[in-house]
Amino acid sequence: MVKFSPVGEKEVTRALIEGFAKHYARLAECDVIIVGGGPSGLACGRELARKGVRTLVVERNNFLGGGFWIGGYLINKVTVRAPAQEYLQEIGVPHEEVTEGLYVADGPHACSKLIAAACDAGVKFATITKLEDLVLRENNRVAGAVINWTPVEAMPHNITCVDPVALESKVLVDATGHDAAAVGKLEERGLFKRKGFGAMWVEKSEDLVVEHTGEVHPGLVVTGMAVSTVFGLPRMGPTFGAMLLSGVKAAEEVLRILKSQPAQVVAARA
Ligand code: 48H
């Protein structure tokens, strides 16, 4: 017979509260905040964390993975075009070539492996947490995220007034998908104009998304579908290779920015 240890409710509650406090105290200052835990944000986070960069993913949902669980049209198969199958191979996702250069995998397997790969690399997560605004410093350089619990937005304003809190970071990555929500916060202040993503054209879009992935404003890197929205690039529909490889490229861009900043972070860890 299994006999569990004689731990009671108060110990369980304390473990939760103390664990939470320790977690958030550390996250108040990160090297990089990635907003959005879809395929591009997770791939970006994994690359950074495995190089020793303190990386936090802020995700408004209670689950990670964004659109990667479902390949499109409520079908839980995902496709990638070459060369992105190499990334699936690297994180151990079984996949099959259906026609030359086009690969199919199970969405739940691909998505759960990507989440696990990001966790294993050391990415930290703040889930059910929404980007509400940006921290801006001199010359409007992005220097962090203003966040709030996602459900706060749904609470009636006449009975609640919950101010957000802020987390500081050296770089912020917009991986929020179609909304490009972090860039949208600059737009609200007249500092940027998103073009809106273009019509579907898979052969063009994926190369362009990876090519345009990078810093769009001091301290702000954009990755994944948000790149299409920011630059007015064609959408790619239900195929995810560019999301994964854009995440990897975004991480390279972040490392380049961190290295160009005053020494505190990366040099110590390199
Ligand atoms: C916190 C937020 C906020 C916020 C959004 O949509 P995603 O999967 O994004 P990508 O770019 O990694 O992948 C896009 C892909 O899933 C897709 O939709 C494709 C390829 N479409 C092609 C086409 O033609 O339409 O993930 C974004 C994540 C989600 O989990 C959101 O919940 C989260 O970002 N998010 N998190 N604060 N303000 N806004």
Give the per-residue pLDDT at 150.
96
Per-residue pLDDT of the chain (270 residues; tens, 9 = 90+): 999 999 999 999 999 999 999 999 999 999 999 999 999 999 999 999 999 999 999 999 999 999 999 999 999 999 999 999 999 999 999 999 999 999 999 999 999 999 999 999 999 999 999 999 999 999 999 999 999 999 998 888 777 789 999 999 999 999 999 999 999 999 999 999 999 999 999 999 999 999 999 999 999 999 999 999 999 999 999 999 999 999 999 999 999 999 998 765 444 444
Q: Is the C-beta atom of 205 inside 6 A of ligand 1?
A: no
For residue 71, what are the contacts with CB-CB under 8 A and spacing of at least 6? Answer: 77, 78, 79, 107, 238, 239, 240
Residue 19, token pair as written in the block: 């664990």
Residue nearest to atom 20 of ligand 1 (CA): 240
Give the per-residue pLDDT at 160.
77
CATH architecture of the domain formed by 30-68+109-269: 3-Layer(bba) Sandwich (3.50)
Cβ neighbours around 16 below 10 Å, total: 10
Burial class, 245, CB count within 10 angstroms (exposed 0-12 / middle 13-18 / buried 19+): buried
Q: Distance between CA 51 and CA 42 in Å, rounded?
A: 14
Closest residue by Cα to residue 236 from 265, 209, 270: 209
Q: Is the C-beta atom of 107 inside 6 A of ligand 1?
A: no
Instruction: Give Dmax over CA atoms of the chain in angstroms.
Output: 65
240 Cα nearest atom in ligand 1: 20
Q: Is the C-beta atom of 148 inside 6 A of ligand 1?
A: no
Domain ranges, ordered by start, for the chain: 30-68+109-269
CA dihedral sign of residues 59, 255, 139, 195: negative
Q: Which of 128, 152, 176, 213 to mutate to test the pocket of ligand 1 (most atoms within 8 A of CB)?
A: 176
Residue nearest to atom 30 of ligand 1 (CA): 66
61 Cα nearest atom in ligand 1: 32
Q: Which of 209, 225, 249 to mutate to test the pocket of ligand 1 (most atoms within 8 A of CB)?
A: 225
If you measure from the C-alpha of residue 9 to the centroid of ligand 1, how many angstroms do you get, rounded to a whole number? Answer: 37
65 Cα nearest atom in ligand 1: 30
The reply to whether omega before 238 is within 30° of 0 (cis) is: no
If you measure from the C-alpha of residue 243 to the centroid of ligand 1, how many angstroms do you get, rounded to a whole number? Answer: 10
Q: Is the C-beta atom of 37 inside 6 A of ligand 1?
A: yes
3-state SS, the chain, equals: CCCCCCCCHHHHHHHHHHHHHHHHHHHCEEEEEEECCCHHHHHHHHHHHHCCCCEEEECCCCCCCHHHHCCECCECEEEEECCCHHHHHHCCCCCEEEECCEEEEEHHHHHHHHHHHHHHHCCEEECCEEEEEEEECHHHCEEEEEEEEHHHHHCCCCCCCCCCEEEEEEEEEECCHHHCHHHHHHHHCCCCCCCCCEEECHHHHHHHHHHHCEEEECCEEECCHHHHHHHCCEECCCECHHHHHHHHHHHHHHHHHHHHCCCCCHHHHC
Q: Is the C-beta atom of 67 inside 6 A of ligand 1?
A: yes
